[in-house]
Amino acid sequence: MSILRYSLVVASLLFVPLLYAQSTSHVEMAKVESHSLAKTVSLTAELAPYLQTDIEARVPGYVERVLVDRGSIVHRGQLLVQLSAPELSSQTNAAEASLHQAEADASQAEAQAAAAASTYERMAEAAKTPGAVAGNELLQAQKQKEAAAALVNSRKAAVKIASDHLKATRATEGYLRVTAPFDGVITDRLVHPGMMVSSNGLQPLLKLQQISHLRLVVPVPETYVGSIAKGKPVTFHVPAQPGKIFTGTIARIPYALDPNSRTMMVELDVSNKEGILASGMYPSVDWPTSFGDLLFVPITSVVTTTERTFVITSQNGRAHWVDVRKGAISGDQISIRGPLASDQQVVKRATDEIREGTPLK
């Protein structure tokens, strides 16, 4: 009897899971929906000046005056630094003297040429009377006229050379006046009166940035580059102005990814006429993204275990596990990727307790 009773107990224990596995689960089904998704993601960007440069001396000299300092607002063509170089003034004076001498020589040559031409014309008129002028004398007068004209051309060429030389020396002397190449703000001052500066580019005088117009450089991940559109407005925030929303416009798209970060460095134009923003800030950008033709199911329909992520569909009235990959969340729905189709039914509140093959009602 004990053996028979033991056999009955074992048989009943084996039969219980079979009954449980085949027991009908009462479930609510939900439809797989297909639609596009538009949302924003937060990206960290950097503000940079629209224009920036190191102001350098173009000729060596001594700093005579510095008319600006750090934080000075300057305009294009404004005098920033005045240098002095006595040797340049001497060169300009010498060039002026050379030009005056060349002009005087040219005037004298023109007078001589006019006299030679007049002499030749008188002799040529007199030569019309036979025996009045010897042929050799007329020939000599003609040669003198031609030589005088050639001397005038030579003197005029010398005047042109002297004039160009004076212009060059004056232009070089003009480099002693260091001016602003564009509107902006002086961000650093590196010289003081009395300092000797060179023109080798190793010693900047000032640093200038244009901050009324800024560049917002956004490293856009590869996943989101498909939603970039030139001229599209984008909002951003900076920690220095909590609660304030700023706007930039997508202006420059490189159409190339950085091979290391796999991001595209997109530039936005930002107006900063009030001077609230500063270059070097790291704003948080509300980057717009859009995805089309995605499959969505309720968040509760996706089951994640240590081994797999799946949804449960009905196949011939029984539960069927379908492996999926989770994507973006939109409200109470989540996008998925897997062997599913739009309008297909899935269990709305799925759990791994609904085993494969369980009858569904």
Residue 82 contacts residue 205 (beta carbons within 8 Å): no
One domain for residues 270 and 317: no
Helix (H, G, I), strand (E, B) or coil at 17: helix
Q: How many domains are contained in the chain?
A: 3
Task: Output the domain CATH number for residue 271.
Answer: 2.40.30.170
In a domain, 19, yes or no: no
In a domain, 68, yes or no: no
Residues 295-354: pLDDT tens digits?
Answer: 888 999 999 998 899 999 998 889 999 999 987 777 888 888 889 888 889 999 999 889
Token match 């003081």: residue?
Answer: 192
State in Å, rounded, how far the first CA of the chain is from the last one: 43
In a domain, 242, yes or no: yes
| Domain, as residue range, for 277 | 45-50+211-281
The CA-atom distances, in angstroms, between 80 and each of 23, 88, 185, 193, 356 are 89, 20, 11, 12, 81
One domain for residues 90 and 127: yes
Let me know how long the chain is.
361
Between CA 273 and CA 212 the distance in angstroms is 5
One domain for residues 329 and 354: yes
In a domain, 185, yes or no: no
Helix (H, G, I), strand (E, B) or coil at 68: coil
- Confidence at 26, pLDDT banded by 50, 70, 90: confident
Residues 134-151: pLDDT tens digits?
Answer: 667 667 777 888 887 888
Domain end marker among 254, 281, 308: 281
Given the DSSP bridges, would you call strands 184-189 and 73-74 parallel, antiparallel or unpaired?
A: antiparallel
DSSP state of 89: H
Percent of the chain with pLDDT over 90: 41
In a domain, 162, yes or no: yes
* Nearest partner of 60 among 86, 36, 23, judged by Cα: 86
- Confidence at 163, pLDDT banded by 50, 70, 90: confident
CA angle 233, 236, 242 (to 5 degrees): 145
Between CA 270 and CA 216 the distance in angstroms is 7
Residue 59 contacts residue 83 (beta carbons within 8 Å): yes
In a domain, 202, yes or no: no
One domain for residues 264 and 337: no
Residues 102-136: pLDDT tens digits?
Answer: 888 888 888 887 888 887 777 776 666 776 666 67
Domain end marker among 174, 192, 221: 174
